Structure 1
């Protein structure tokens, strides 16, 4: 591994990481060298970007084609009232740099589709899905698998959320479509605007996604590969479902 130099103030910034026996200076160097793409700078993207920036992930790519609206602020805490009307990628970049000026931010103010996804995803080590629609979720899952990129997938709705990690290109690990073979019919699953969502829920799920990213980068712990972590906010309960590869691709 190439040794990366830290400025004195970076050593102080990351001191609580560096003293961890499982982590140390080598783990922090891995974070600084890493390139992570966050798809969506909304409810899930807010905690993911905040915690990865605070942790010292060297390069954060942000994909989002939306602007900040007043109704976003109840849960998308990377944005504030002054950012209303601004592009979410711009607002998120400013928040990341306020938190940690050592982070490089790469902005992609667009919606991912079959024509541009591969050229963007291939630039990064790990992909994080914070999208709010099934088209993007399935596109990301399929494209990340084809490009051999780990995907940290999260989803929320009303009071519930879920997280899983996908690396189907290794060891016969399952695909996203082993878990969810096909998108639900259009209009059958209401989005946040129709069904609502409790504001703190994305913080729980996004923080779990950030933790999985840090584990993947540093090699510590056991990622949620082949496991779907479910969170019920009303009942304050976590459950884990194991799943295996069952489809032929």
Structure 2
């Protein structure tokens, strides 16, 4: 089942295309890692796919009415700001808004599951404004999980997390995909992406340069041409290992 289909998606800033004619699809059961250097167009691609930016071409998500779109896909943006004092539980419960204005038993159960997945049960009554950056990042991931949509789009979800939380979060997304949902996440840690994702989409200059299984995308040529690095890439116990070694330009 296709959860997201993009056809020649293009986003311009003035005359310059920031995302340039991207066509791809994401199916249920896939965990797609969106990789590429800063400014490659990863964030813009996700926001346009969700209909949050004006674009040319077609996105199956942006074509949906807003209420239906919110039940089809959950979005975790890079920004991690909370504008008012609310409890962790209340913040996570906002993920249930697309399913109705009032919290019912099923909604509360979804919030409980999301808090448990992120190890936040003991923090449910805390003021979200008093959390550390890493704690707040986990709460916002829990909010996305509570939304319980077929598709999750996450923009740098593990940025700022400690190593354990990074690994647990990526494993959680992988588990969601194995359970039949779809996940698209932009990730800068190439090793973490290679070990966790079923597929990598490599972007540069607003275009898709490579798309496929992690080891087929993370070739020496792609690492050199797109990232300007030389890296050690190998299969190891627990999955691929990618260690940047030197700059090549």
TM-score, normalised by the number of residues in structure 1? 0.33
- Which of the pair has the greater relative contact order for Cα pairs under 8 Å at 6+ separation? 2
**Of Structure 1 and Structure 2, which has the larger fraction of its residues in strand?**
2
TM-score, normalised by the number of residues in structure 2? 0.33
